[in-house]
Amino acid sequence: MDADGKLPSFLPSACPKKDTRSSTPLETFSNICLILINRQVAQPSGGSKMNVQAEPGMAALAAIKANYSLTPEQRQIVDHVDRVAREILHPLQEKMDAEEWWPEDLFRQMGELGLLGITAPEELGGSGQNEFTQALVSETISKWNPAVGLSHGAHDNLCLNNILRNGSDEQVRKYVPGLCSGELVGALGLTEPGAGSDALGSMATGAVRDGNDYVINGSKIYITNGPIADVILVYAKTDKAKGAKGISAFIVETDNPGFKVAQKLDKMGFRGSPTGELVFEDCRVPASAMIGAENSGVSVVMSGLDLERAMVASVCVGMAERALELALDYARIREQFGKPIASFQMVQAMLAEMYTEIEAARSLSLRTAAMCEGLEEGEGGRGEIHKLTAAAIFKAAAATSFVLDRAVQIHGGSGYMRDTEVNRLYRTGRVLEVGAGTQEVRKLIISGELLKN
């Protein structure tokens, strides 16, 4: 519970009294939807009493609630981020989408507002929070401006948190404070023109030792923040004969000779978040720029990918939540046949289905984020966390696609207009079933872990 004694919004405040009368699925959907429309939750009658044999113990109930409640500090953080995102980031959305525009000083502003370095210790300029709180921040930002949510995740999770978890003390001290303040912008370079789902096996970018340096040659594509990044965590093969086990991770400063942004890409969604193709032509970096030992980059990759999937699941939930809000508002004010379309059962059914999908995705997303806490170096890429993060993003992406489709349907013709917020969400949501591993790859990960002895 929060400081006011209230449960978080994703928990029902009470269970409705059981109704023994049989009801149709449409009536069930309508009942849920009417709760949403009226912004009320049905309360049980004072005389109702559950079957004693079916009633869980108070300790069990407390444990269930604890798994889904926020600490007072987490609630304060979410409230702060929600206010900032709603008042500052949301108004930027229309111009960012129309012009593929990124505000030049936005990362510095986010640093000043405390939105960066969520998992970094306070002595390095961060907030000292865990991955669960980072997921809450990601969800909240993405609700009000998905493009900022995406760039924030690439900076804070893929770059900063990876350096924090896997870098040497010297590397952490050198880069993390600037990434926390927003003076440095971070990115991660993994995907290549010929290496998408098979990112490790098909990786062509290579790094060759030359004295005290490594010389990197190759290219990366679809890199979020690539065109504006100061620091990029780059994966390259240092021993091609070893395949995926011959990959190393490097911190590349983008003012290094031999690095260039080949092009800024024009996207269907997440517009404004800068995405680019990066080229390395005899790009020389010092050996001290390597994270960990030579040929040990696969452990950094795999743990980073698991954390990325957990964070992107939160992006999905935030976007879906906003789509439901827009659909509810529109259903209340749009009138046809002399009454609001919210009064029609088929619209109510869509709203109820949307709500249910969001809450299911949110529950799995939060459980997964909690499981990511304390993930040891090299622990990702296998076992329960590998399976769970793939499941979380698989469910969240599918749920978001469903919710966005229904949101556009409820908006009718206006939802098809490019300048509406629900249309921006719809275009943006499509890549959630592709990026950070396709839905097909996610299913392979889940089934692969299930079938292990």
> Whose structure tokens read 């010929």?
194
Output the CA–CA distances (angstroms, integers) from residue 183 to 174, 226, 368, 409, in the order listed: 12, 15, 31, 42
How far is the first Cα of the chain from the last one, in angstroms, to the nearest whole number?
40
Q: Among 348, 355, 353, 350, which Cα is nearest to 317's? A: 355
Spatial separation of the C-alpha atoms in residues 106 and 34, rounded to whole Å: 40
Please pick, among 131, 308, 357, 421, the residue that the annotation labels catalytic: 308
Please report which residue ranges of 334-375 form alpha helices under DSSP H: 345-371
Q: CA-based diameter of the chain, in Å?
A: 81
Per the structure block, which two tokens stand in for 94?
């229309």
Q: H/E element holding 394?
A: helix 383-411
DSSP 52: G
Per the structure block, which two tokens stand in for 198?
């098979």
Residues ≥6 apart with Cβ < 8 Å to 434? none
Asked if 81 and 140 count as a contact pair (C-beta separation under 8 A), the reply is yes
Asked if 425 and 400 count as a contact pair (C-beta separation under 8 A), the reply is no
Q: Among 356, 395, 387, 359, which Cα is nearest to 371's? A: 387
Residue 179 class from Cβ within 10 Å (0-12 exposed, 13-18 middle, 19+ buried)? buried
Asked if 314 and 365 count as a contact pair (C-beta separation under 8 A), the reply is yes
308 belongs to the catalytic site: yes
Q: Among 187, 151, 192, which Cα is nearest to 279's? A: 192
Q: What residues act catalytically?
A: 308
